[in-house]
Chain A
Amino acid sequence: MITHQNAQSQKPARVVVLGAHGFIGAAICKQIEAQGIPVIALTSVEMDLAEATVVDRLASLLKPSDAVVMLAALTPDKGRDIATLMKNLALMQSVCAALEKTGCAHLVYFSSDAVYNTAVSRITEDVPASPQDLYGAMHYTREVMAHSLAKVPVLVLRPTIVYGLDDTHNSYGPNRFRRMAQKDGKITLFGSGEETRDHIHVDDIATLTVRCLLRCSTGTLNVATGTSKSFLEVAEIVAKEFNWEIEIVATPRQSPVTHRHYDVTNMIKAFPDFRFIVLEKGIARVHKQMMAAS
C-alpha cells in the first residue's frame, strides 16, 4: 500500500537517478525528461558507488530538495554469490551514507519480487518478504536500509518480470523468447511452459515511477499488471509476431510447476486511471523495434 504525500501531481525540483544506464533506469530517465523535470542520470562511470570517496562526492552533488531513484545494483547475471551480495550492500551503504548527510525530498528504491517466497502463488504487498536466495535477501536488506534513513520519505517498488527492447539480462520470458525465435526459429520452454507469471513492459514501469515521483508516494508497491499468463502462452504470443513458423519446444521438466499472480488492488487504488500495455500489444511493440533495429 502506498500513500501519496502530494494530493495533486507536483514536479520534483530535480530527480537524481542512480543506475541510469540500466534497462529500467534508462526508460525512467527518458520519461522524467519528457515531463520537463530536471534529471541527473548517473551511471557507474560518473558515480561509481563502490569507489572509496563516493559518499562525499554524491553528498556534494545531492540537494535536500532532490528526489532520488536508486536502481544501481549488480544483477544476478553478474553473480549470485555472497561476494556479489556484499558488493550490492556496499553500494546501498554509500547511497544511505550520502543521504544521511544531505537528506532528500523523496527516495524511490527499486527492489524486486525476489523478496517474496517463490512458493507463494498470490502476491500482495501484505505478503511478508521471505527471500529464498541471496539476490532476494540483498534487495530486502537494501529496502530496510532505505527505511532506516531518518526523515526521508521512502517508496519501495517491487517489479515483476520486465520486458522491453533493451533488456540486457535475457531472462526467461518474452525477452529471451523473441531472441530465441529470431535467432533459431524456435522457442525452448522449461517443461511445457505451464508456469504462470506476470510480465510488465518497461515503459509501464517508467510511467508508474514518474507518477509516484509526481505524487511523492511512500510505502511499498508491487509493480505488476495483475494479469498472469503461462510461459507457453507468452511463447505463442511472441511466435505470432514472426512472419515465419516458430517452433515451440517443450523439454523434460526439471522442477515443479509454480505460479505467481499479483493482486494489484493497491496499484488500482493509488492510480485508478493507469492503463497498462497489454501483453500482446507490448510484445508486438518490442518485436517491431527489434526488427527495425536488426
Chain B
Amino acid sequence: MSAYTIGYVGMTHLGLNSAVAAADKGYETVCFDPNHVLIAKLSLHELPIVEPDLPKLLEKNSGRIRFTADVNQLSLCDVVYIAPDVPTNENGQSDLSRIDTLFSQVEPVLSPYTVIVILSQVPPGFTRAKLRPGRLLHYQVETLIFGRAMERACFPERFIVGCAEPSEPLPPAFANFLQSFGCPILPMRYESAELAKISINMCLVASIGVANTMSELCEQTGADWSEIVPALKLDQRIGPFSYLSAGLGIAGGNLERDLATVCNFADQYGTDAGVVRAWMANSHHRRDWALRTLYREILSRMDEPVIAVLGLAYKQDTHSTKNSPSIALLEYLKPFSVRVFDPEVPASAAPNPQRHDSKSELEACEGADVLVVMTPWQQFAKLDPTEIAQRLRGKLVLDPYAILSAAACRVAGLNYLTLGVQP
C-alpha cells in the first residue's frame, strides 16, 4: 500500500474509472462529487456507466475507495485530480462550466502541498489560466476510450504531463503515483500537453478519414477494404493499432470536440484548418451510409417496410448514445415501423413512434424486411445467420461494421451488405 492518497473530483466516466485504477495500484482514493444522490449510489456500487471490468475492480478495491460529497475530505489527499467529463454541444464545443465550478469549490480546501492535476479535456491555455502563486498545478492528458476505459486507465502507454516549468522535477507524490504505472512520463509545458491531446485525436481522425474515404471507393471499384487494412497495419509508418476499420464516421463526442477546438483556434489565429473541416464533412457523409443504403434497397422500393435495428449505443461496450449513428439513422426512419434492440440502451432512446421494443436480437428480426446492425456489440457476432434468416420477412442485412460473418449470411440466403465492399 502506498503512503500517498489520491483524490478525484467529478464522478462521471473519466473520474470514476481513473479513481478505480488508482485504487487498483494500491493508493487510498477519495472520490468527491457534490451530487449527494450520485455519491449515495456509488457507495452502494451502483454504477451510472457501463465499462467492462469496472464493477469487478471497484469491488476488488472497495477497501481503498471512499466516495464522498464532502469536499473537505479532499484535504487529506496528496494529489487531487479534477476529472469531470466535459460535455459538448451539437457543434462539438466544450462546456467548461462544470470544471470551473468544481475547481473553484475544491481549490480553497487544499493545502499548498497538495498537487492539483487537471485531467479533464481542456483547450490550450486553460490550465495556465488557473495557475496561482504557490499552487502546485499540472495538467495530465487523458486517453480514455469508451468501452476500454479501465484497460486504458490501468495500463497507460505513457503519461503526458503539462507543467508550469517542464525542467523542474515533478512533486514527489505526483511522481510516485505516475511511476507506479511503469510507463514513460513526458513532462512538457501546459499548452504543449493540452495540444498533444488534441494532436493525438487529430492523428486518429486522419486515419478514420482515410478508412472512410478508401472504403467508400472500395464499394465502387470491386476492392475489399478488409483486405487492404492488414497491409496498412504492417507498415511501420502506420502501425498495428491505427484506426483503419471502416465505420460510420466519428461519434461519442470526444473526437468531435477536438475537431471543433482546432477549427475554433484556427479561425481565431488565421491558421489553416481546411483538412479538419474536410474530415468532419467526410464523417457526416459516412454516418449516413446506412440511411442511403436503406433508401436504395428498401425505402424507395417497398410500401410500409419493417426495419429491424440492432444497437443504439454509439459503439460497443458503452451505454452512451452521444452522436450515435444508430440514433441518427432512426431519426429519419420515423415514418416507418422499426423493431429495436440494444443490450444496454433502452429502446425508448429511439425517437420512433412506430417502434417495437424488442427483448432480444432475434425478436427484433421477427417479420422485418431488413436487419440493420448499427452497433458492433460482440454478442451480435454470436447470432446465427440461419436463425436471422428464419425470422426475417426479407433477406437484406446491412452490417456496416461487419460484425456478422458475410459468408455465413450468404450461405443462409441473406443479401449481406457492409462497408468497404462492392455490393
A276 vs B333: C-alpha distance in the bound complex, in angstroms?
Answer: 18
Which A residues are CB-close (under 8 A) to B332? 268-269, 272
Instruction: Given A126-B281, A263-B285, answer yes or no on A273-B292 (Cβ-Cβ < 8 Å).
Output: no
Instruction: Count chain B CB atoms within 10 A of each CB in A126, A263, A268, A275 and give the residue with the most.
Output: A268
Interchain nearest-CB distance for A152 vs B (Å): 27
- Nearest neighbor of B281 in chain A, beta-carbon distance: A126
A244 vs B332: C-alpha distance in the bound complex, in angstroms?
Answer: 46
A120 vs B288: C-alpha distance in the bound complex, in angstroms?
Answer: 21
* Structural contact, A272 and B295, CB atoms closer than 8 A: yes
Which A residues are CB-close (under 8 A) to B288? 265, 268-269
A47 vs B34: C-alpha distance in the bound complex, in angstroms?
Answer: 70
Interface presence of B268 (CB below 8 A): no
* Structural contact, B336 and A272, CB atoms closer than 8 A: yes
* Structural contact, B300 and A274, CB atoms closer than 8 A: yes
Interface presence of B335 (CB below 8 A): yes
Instruction: Given A126-B281, A268-B332, answer yes or no on A273-B291 (Cβ-Cβ < 8 Å).
Output: no
Interface presence of B301 (CB below 8 A): yes
A226 vs B333: C-alpha distance in the bound complex, in angstroms?
Answer: 19
* Structural contact, B292 and A272, CB atoms closer than 8 A: no
Interface presence of B299 (CB below 8 A): yes
1/0 contact string of A264-281 vs chain B (CB within 8 Å): 010011001111100000
* Structural contact, A268 and B281, CB atoms closer than 8 A: no
Give the contact-size bracket for chain A: 10 to 19
* Structural contact, B300 and A269, CB atoms closer than 8 A: no
A61 vs B288: C-alpha distance in the bound complex, in angstroms?
Answer: 44
User: B285, B295, B301, B336: which contacts A268 (Cβ < 8 A)?
Assistant: B295
1/0 contact string of B281-323 vs chain A (CB within 8 Å): 1000100100110010001110000000000000000000000
* Structural contact, A272 and B285, CB atoms closer than 8 A: no
Which B residues are CB-close (under 8 A) to A276? 300
Instruction: Count chain B CB atoms within 10 A of each CB in A273, A275, A276 and give the residue with the most.
Output: A273
1/0 contact string of B315-341 vs chain A (CB within 8 Å): 000000000000000001101100000
Which A residues are CB-close (under 8 A) to B295? 268, 272
1/0 contact string of A7-23 vs chain B (CB within 8 Å): 00000000000000000
A273 vs B299: C-alpha distance in the bound complex, in angstroms?
Answer: 6
Interchain nearest-CB distance for B247 vs A (Å): 17
* Structural contact, A269 and B281, CB atoms closer than 8 A: no
Which B residues are CB-close (under 8 A) to A273? 299, 335-336
A226 vs B299: C-alpha distance in the bound complex, in angstroms?
Answer: 14
Interchain nearest-CB distance for B190 vs A (Å): 36
A226 vs B300: C-alpha distance in the bound complex, in angstroms?
Answer: 12
Give the contact-size bracket for chain B: 10 to 19
Which B residues are CB-close (under 8 A) to A268? 288, 291-292, 295, 299, 332
Which B residues are CB-close (under 8 A) to A265? 285, 288, 291-292
**Interface of chain A residues 15 through 61 with chain B (CB within 8 A):** none
1/0 contact string of B69-109 vs chain A (CB within 8 Å): 00000000000000000000000000000000000000000
Which B residues are CB-close (under 8 A) to A269? 288, 291, 332
* Structural contact, B335 and A272, CB atoms closer than 8 A: yes
**Interface of chain A residues 250 through 268 with chain B (CB within 8 A):** 263, 265, 268
- Nearest neighbor of A268 in chain B, beta-carbon distance: B295
* Structural contact, A272 and B299, CB atoms closer than 8 A: yes
A263 vs B288: C-alpha distance in the bound complex, in angstroms?
Answer: 11
Interchain nearest-CB distance for B300 vs A (Å): 5
**Interface of chain B residues 116 through 159 with chain A (CB within 8 A):** none
Which B residues are CB-close (under 8 A) to A274? 300
A163 vs B53: C-alpha distance in the bound complex, in angstroms?
Answer: 61
Which A residues are CB-close (under 8 A) to B285? 263, 265
**Interface of chain A residues 52 through 106 with chain B (CB within 8 A):** none
Which A residues are CB-close (under 8 A) to B299? 268, 272-273
- Nearest neighbor of A278 in chain B, beta-carbon distance: B300
Interchain nearest-CB distance for A229 vs B (Å): 14
A273 vs B336: C-alpha distance in the bound complex, in angstroms?
Answer: 9
Which A residues are CB-close (under 8 A) to B300? 274-276
Which A residues are CB-close (under 8 A) to B292? 226, 265, 268
Instruction: Count chain A CB atoms within 10 A of each CB in B300, B301, B332 and give the residue with the most.
Output: B300
Instruction: Given A126-B281, A263-B285, A269-B332, answer yes or no on A275-B301 (Cβ-Cβ < 8 Å).
Output: yes
Interchain nearest-CB distance for A198 vs B (Å): 14
A275 vs B303: C-alpha distance in the bound complex, in angstroms?
Answer: 10
Interchain nearest-CB distance for A58 vs B (Å): 37
Interchain nearest-CB distance for B329 vs A (Å): 10
Which A residues are CB-close (under 8 A) to B301? 275
* Structural contact, B281 and A272, CB atoms closer than 8 A: no
A274 vs B288: C-alpha distance in the bound complex, in angstroms?
Answer: 17
A126 vs B285: C-alpha distance in the bound complex, in angstroms?
Answer: 11
Which A residues are CB-close (under 8 A) to B291? 265, 268-269, 272
A276 vs B295: C-alpha distance in the bound complex, in angstroms?
Answer: 11
Which B residues are CB-close (under 8 A) to A263? 285
1/0 contact string of A113-131 vs chain B (CB within 8 Å): 0000000000000100000
Instruction: Count chain B CB atoms within 10 A of each CB in A126, A263, A269, A272 and give the residue with the most.
Output: A272
Which B residues are CB-close (under 8 A) to A272? 291, 295, 299, 332-333, 335-336
- Nearest neighbor of B296 in chain A, beta-carbon distance: A226
A276 vs B288: C-alpha distance in the bound complex, in angstroms?
Answer: 19
A105 vs B345: C-alpha distance in the bound complex, in angstroms?
Answer: 42
Interchain nearest-CB distance for B289 vs A (Å): 10
A69 vs B332: C-alpha distance in the bound complex, in angstroms?
Answer: 27
Interchain nearest-CB distance for B263 vs A (Å): 15
A-B contact pairs, 30 of them (CB 8 A): A126-B281, A226-B292, A263-B285, A265-B285, A265-B288, A265-B291, A265-B292, A268-B288, A268-B291, A268-B292, A268-B295, A268-B299, A268-B332, A269-B288, A269-B291, A269-B332, A272-B291, A272-B295, A272-B299, A272-B332, A272-B333, A272-B335, A272-B336, A273-B299, A273-B335, A273-B336, A274-B300, A275-B300, A275-B301, A276-B300
Which residues of B come within 8 Å of A, CB atoms? 281, 285, 288, 291-292, 295, 299-301, 332-333, 335-336
Which residues of A come within 8 Å of B, CB atoms? 126, 226, 263, 265, 268-269, 272-276
Closest 10 CB pairs of A and B: A268-B295, A265-B288, A269-B332, A275-B300, A272-B299, A272-B332, A273-B335, A265-B292, A268-B291, A272-B335
- List 5 extra interface pairs beyond A265-B288, A265-B292, A268-B332, CB under 8 A: A265-B285, A269-B288, A272-B291, A274-B300, A275-B300
